[in-house]
Structure 1
Amino acid sequence: MGLGNRGIGKGKGKGKLTLLIFCMSVAVLLLAGFRSGADQPTAGVPAATDTASLGVAELQKSLALLSSAGQEVTAAGSPLRLVLKWQGEYSGDSDSFKNASDMLAEQLGLGKIEAREEDGHATYRASGSQDAYSKISMFWSQLGSDSSYVIVTVETRDLLKADTFQAAAEEAGTLMFSAGITPEWNASLQGTAKAQSGPDTALFSIEQSIQEQLPGMNPAESYEDDTTYSRSYSVPDLERVVSSGNHLIALQLAVHKDGNNNTNRVTLGLPLITIEY
């Protein structure tokens, strides 16, 4: 199934966009989990350092793709906001994860940890700035007596001006591996769309613009309302995928008409968009 037909995969959605996409993304990411070619059984189990290297190498390629595709579909001079999240589970009791969270926050160069109880779970948060354009934050939440979930977010408001962003993103993943966490990443890039027609027409234009960089991209699922069009795709050359129904999703695109300034905002997500668009 190609991208030449604009009617492919359209479906009606109801309810608030943010709630729908947030719930879908979180449920898929946390419950179904990520799959990639590197996750398939092999003759031996790679060492933690090898696994970290694989994850970082894959991230490097994906950030380059996001940057290239983002510049292709956004207006000249549009800031490219990028949000990169590493997330994974940590095994250990409350004392163990408290010590590990303190150490990880310190290694990431974050400020003082704020401890609190949220929804009956002990949580720890910390954040700090990487440069004038970027920031990093850590969220560590206890799931049970011997496990917790960790999310480290590296974000920049303008990727093209954030000199330290990629190094900080790579280091965050490596440090999580070293802390005994096997994290997976997801990345979302956002900017003002070059195509400023209706959201549906703009999304079609964006699809055509990036087909050459993502050969074989095939629509799998879609969402639309009065101001937003979004589609997710399978892409043969992308290793990071997430299971959704019968599909393995590698990319999500969305165009939203901003009522405040009447411009289209485009968001690209690998493998899914996990921020509000």
Structure 2
Amino acid sequence: MKKLGSYALIIILVAVVMVGFEKGRHADAAVNHPVDDASVQLAQLMSIGKEVIQDKVRVTIKWQGEWNTLLASEEAADVLSSRLGLSGLVYDKVQDHTQYYALGDLNGVQSKLSVTVREKGRLYVVLRLETETLEGMNALGTLQYNYGSSLADEGVNVKWNAAIQGMTNEQTGDMGGVQSLTHGEKLKNIEQQVENTIQPLKMVDSYEDGNTISRSYEVDGLPISVYSGDHQISLQVALHRNLDTGRQEISIGSPLLTIEY
């Protein structure tokens, strides 16, 4: 009976260890979840861009979030910039908040890190990646994943968003000429192209003025979203008529556009 009791105790201890291991493993997966999701989302966004944008494309990605740390603010900023391979840490003062900046340029991708001091031990981190080159486009996926993983590993509560911008593809008419479509007509064509690339969209918000139209959508196939009322928005598309060229500029953001358009 004593021997049987010893075996039972060993089994219980092993079970406890395994449960602890599983909890730790799932916790690690939860930490890396936004980084993995960002890879999926960027690939989908790039596919959309290839369908609807003509000529030069500009891609902007942001990793951002709060960071609670025991490090002094300057030391914390230096730790992040060093880990990300950025250089030239600069101090600044913006609206009574201390900020630190560092820059980088790798494989055609320009990076800018900003660390803002909100209060002692509580910082806000923004890492912006931007490129307009083919080399940069090819490097973005790996670079955003590595940067996001590094920030999360340091304890930053990372959130992701991205945008693709350029000129819309022109619509060719039956006689070979270029048709001048209204914002609404052009956006309807873009929506159809996006649905062919990913899956059906559900529009949940719309804005329009004389030169700009913007719509936001629920998209089940995109894992990163933000709440707007009762809806989870994953994609925003905006068209703007350039008064100088007469052409339509398109901005596609996921989950929302956080840059000028």
Question: Could you say whether these structures have the same fold, taking a TM-score greater than 0.5 normalized by the shorter chain as the test?
Answer: yes
Name structure 2 gaps, 5 residues minimum: 1-21, 171-179
1:72 CA drift (Å): 0.6
Q: Return the match for 1:255 from 218, 236, 239.
A: 239
Higher relative contact order (CA 8 A, sep 6+): 1
One-letter code of the match for 1:200? G
Give 1:256 deviation, angstroms. Answer: 0.7
Once the two structures are aligned, what percentage of the paired residues are identical? 29
1:129 is aligned, of 105, 120, 130, to 105
Task: Say how many residue pairs are matched.
Answer: 231
> Residues 81-100 of structure 1 correspond to what in structure 2 (within 5 A)?
81-92=58-69, 95-100=71-76
- String of CA shifts for 1:33-85, please: whole Å, max 9, x gaps: xxxxxxxxxx946567534542232122111111111111112xx12211110
Is residue 182 of structure 2 the alignment partner of residue 205 of structure 1? no
Closer/same/farther in 2, CA of residues 47 and 136 from structure 1, 3 Å limit:
farther
> TM-score, normalised to structure 1's length?
0.77
Query: Does the 8 Å contact 2:40/2:222 carry over to 1?
Result: no
Contact 1:100 1:179 in 2 (8 A): no
Matched residue of 1:113: which SS?
strand
Paired with 1:198 and 1:121, the residues of 2 have a C-alpha distance of 44
In the alignment, which of 148, 157, 167 is matched to residue 173 of structure 1?
148
The more displaced of 135-144 and 162-171 is: 162-171
In the alignment, is residue 269 of structure 1 matched against residue 244 of structure 2? no
- Whether 1:140 aligns to 2:124 is no
Are residue 190 (structure 1) and residue 160 (structure 2) matched?
no
Secondary structure of the equivalent of 2:143?
helix
Q: What is the CA deviation profile of residues 150-184 of structure 1, one whole-angstrom value per residue up to 9, with x for unaligned ones? A: 01111111356543222221111011012111201
Contact 1:52 / 1:173 at 8 angstroms: preserved in 2? no
Root-mean-square deviation over aligned CA pairs:
2.0
Structure with greater proportional strand content: 2
Unaligned runs of 5+ in 1: 1-42
Aligned residue identity for 1:88: G
Instruction: Say which SS state the counterpart of residue 138 (structure 2) adopts.
Output: coil
The TM-score with structure 2 as length reference comes to 0.82
Q: Greater helix percent: which structure?
A: 2
Q: Provide the rounded CA distance (Å) in 2 between the counterparts of 1:135 and 1:230.
A: 28
